[in-house]
Amino acid sequence: MGCGSSSPQQAVPPPGGGGATPPAPGGGGQSGQGGAYPANNANASRARGSDIAANNGVDAELERARAEDEGKIKMLLLGAGESGKSTIFKQMRLLYNSSERTDDDLRMYGVVARSNIVVAVRKLCAHLRNLGLEEELDRESRDAEGELGGGGHSGMSVRQAYDELMAYLVDNTANAAGGMDVKCGTVGTTSQDPSFSIKYPPLDDDLNTGKKDWVGQSPRAGLAANNDAKLFLAHHESIRILWQSETIKQVWAKRSAVNIIDSHKEYLDDVSRIASPDYKPTVQDVLIARVRTTQVVMEKYRIDGIDFEVYDVGGQRSERRKWIDCFDSVTAVIFVAALSEYDQYLAEAKRTNRMVEALELFRSVCNNRAFSNTSIMLFLNKKDIFTEKIMYSDIAAQRPFCDYAGPTKDFDHGVLYFIQKFKDCLIDDEFNDSFIHVTCATDTNNMEFVLESTRTIIMTDNLKRSGFLGAD
């Protein structure tokens, strides 16, 4: 699915598909009266005249399209899955397209945000169990009860919350018939009496208020996301309680093993707002929503009198065969790689280090003949997560990067090391440092600065390549 659907954004059709225009209803070109040729000479010359005029019109149109194409800047966002391409694409829309997102769009992102939370919680709960931390939860629950003076508990304990989520989100062992009362704490060993029950809300209605849920369902988000969004509404209180526990913090610190999207911490910190029936996604919610791109999407902008066509593609391995469809006459490629992924593995190939994959991909893009006359920019993204991660995950401890000789926990040395790794992928060493940016795609201020300077560099480089400006 492409993200968003503002009017200028289009899914790009595959080549050869849909090229020929179907015949117009009612026959089209020929007269339909027993012959293609006109009945007399006068008619013939009138017809020739109109043919010439029509041809002239077509020629003029082609010429105009060619001139327009020549002035146009075509930009591709390339990179491996989850590197941040679509997030940058969304930032461009914020910067260069003043139209608001439609309610339909926002509803889709609302469903996506809620389902993103469920996906993260599912992974966290399963990981908690694999790490053998259930007893920690029990201890936490007992301590909390002790603090309340032993006289019962105010609502659900963290262990009960966990058990409910395991039963409904992970193991599907709960009897979840819609609308009926369900007991919680039926899975695993609970140290608390699971004496409360929850109700599945009727579709689109808030559990407590019965108010119509603004987000509701969105066919554009897909069945799985809609189902997860529904689960979110039924279990958001347990999610909120579990997320506040100390035990889940330990699991969060070890999340790279299970590929949880780091930016979804922002959603988890704000579960009650996202569960509210009035919930309408904010600009930031839309930015951090994760939807895997599965078709090439294009958006057009006119900036300072110049036309830009920007293409966003899916980065996972299975999506890359579609890239070639948009490799023609490319002015600039923005190659996006996530700096923070040096200790993570691909979602689609669990043994491949993500940074190694990004480096290989960068090598093949830079050395692709289709881009011999194209400016290639490198965005080393997710610098915010990198900053945090180097504090506990040593670069040199990762087998592919054991040659890292810089100090641990050092942002600058770490970034320079990876920049050199990307530069080493090039056959010639023409790569100009001004073509490299260290970015945080979810930060609009940072992206505004980076995208504006990228635009200037691309336009200058384009003029140089077409001979309008002298080369350095």
Ligand X SMILES: Nc1nc2c(ncn2[C@@H]2O[C@H](COP(=O)(O)OP(=O)(O)OP(=O)(O)O)[C@@H](O)[C@H]2O)c(=O)[nH]1
Task: Choose from Mg ion, ligand X, none: what does 437 bind? Cβ within 5-8 Å by kind.
Answer: none
Considering only residues 9, 75, 84, 86, which one is a binding residue for Mg ion as defined by CB under 5 A?
Answer: 86
Q: CB of 215 within 8 A of CB of 280? A: yes
Torsion, Cα of 418, 420, 426, 428 (10° steps): 170
List the one residue out of 54, 222, 216, 242 whose CA is nearest residue 144: 242
Please name the amino acid found at residue 452: E
Please name the amino acid found at residue 45: S
Please give the annotated binding residues for GTP, written as ranges: 82-87, 262-263, 287-293, 312-316, 381-384, 441
Letters for 414-453 (x = contact with ligand X by CB under 6 A, - = none) are: --------------------------xxx-----------
CB of 293 to ligand X, least distance (A): 3
List the one residue out of 71, 133, 79 whose CA is nearest residue 306: 71
Task: Choose from Mg ion, ligand X, none: what does 441 bind? Cβ within 5-8 Å by kind.
Answer: ligand X
Looking at residue 167, the DSSP 8-state letter turns out to be: I
List the one residue out of 365, 340, 364 whose CA is nearest residue 353: 340
Please name the amino acid found at residue 95: L
Task: Choose from Mg ion, ligand X, none: what does 2 bind? Cβ within 5-8 Å by kind.
Answer: none
- Nearer to ligand X by Cβ, of 163 and 262: the residue is 262
Letters for 352-391 (x = contact with ligand X by CB under 6 A, - = none) are: -----------------------------xx-xx------
- Binding-site size, ligand X (CB under 6 A): 25
Task: Choose from ligand X, Mg ion, none: what does 281 bind? Cβ within 5-8 Å by kind.
Answer: none
CB of 140 to ligand X, least distance (A): 28
Considering only residues 292, 300, 320, 413, which one is a binding residue for ligand X as defined by CB under 6 A?
Answer: 292
Q: Please choose, out of 85-93, 129-137, 147-155, 228-236, the segment that lies near ligand X by the rule CB under 6 A.
A: 85-93
The pair of three-digit structure tokens given for residue 309, joined into one six-digit string: 């066509």
- The enclosing H or E element of 436 equals strand 436-438
| Residue 442 sits in the site that holds Mg ion (CB under 5 A) | no
- Nearer to ligand X by Cβ, of 247 and 439: the residue is 439
Site for ligand X in 250-289 (CB under 6 A): 261-263, 288
CB of 60 to ligand X, least distance (A): 40
Considering only residues 190, 226, 293, 393, which one is a binding residue for Mg ion as defined by CB under 5 A?
Answer: 293
> CA separation (Å) from 81 to 4, 78, 92, 265, 357?
18, 9, 19, 20, 10
Q: CB of 11 within 8 A of CB of 314? A: no
Letters for 252-291 (x = contact with Mg ion by CB under 5 A, - = none) are: ----------------------------------------
| Residue 115 sits in the site that holds ligand X (CB under 6 A) | no
Please give the annotated binding residues for Mg(2+), written as ranges: 86, 293
Please name the amino acid found at residue 345: Y
CB of 27 to Mg ion, least distance (A): 44
| Residue 84 sits in the site that holds ligand X (CB under 6 A) | yes
CB of 81 to ligand X, least distance (A): 4
- Nearer to Mg ion by Cβ, of 78 and 366: the residue is 78
Task: Choose from Mg ion, ligand X, none: what does 263 bind? Cβ within 5-8 Å by kind.
Answer: ligand X
DSSP per residue over 170-239, as a string? Answer: IS--S---TTSEEES--SS--SS----EEEPPPTTB-TTT-PBPSS---GGG-HHHHHHHHHHHHHHHHH
Q: CB of 279 within 8 A of CB of 110? A: yes
CB of 319 to ligand X, least distance (A): 7
Q: CB of 277 within 8 A of CB of 209? A: yes
β pairing state of 10-11 and 181-183: unpaired
Considering only residues 2, 73, 76, 87, which one is a binding residue for ligand X as defined by CB under 6 A?
Answer: 87
- Nearer to Mg ion by Cβ, of 125 and 296: the residue is 296
d(CA 41, CA 380): 70
List the one residue out of 437, 297, 451, 421 whose CA is nearest residue 358: 421
Residue appearing with tokens 């301590």: 143
> CA separation (Å) from 96 to 6, 109, 134?
12, 20, 49
Site for ligand X in 299-358 (CB under 6 A): 314-316
Residues within the interface to ligand X (CB under 6 A): 79, 81-87, 261-263, 288, 290, 292-293, 314-316, 381-382, 384-385, 440-442
Residues within the interface to Mg ion (CB under 5 A): 85-86, 293
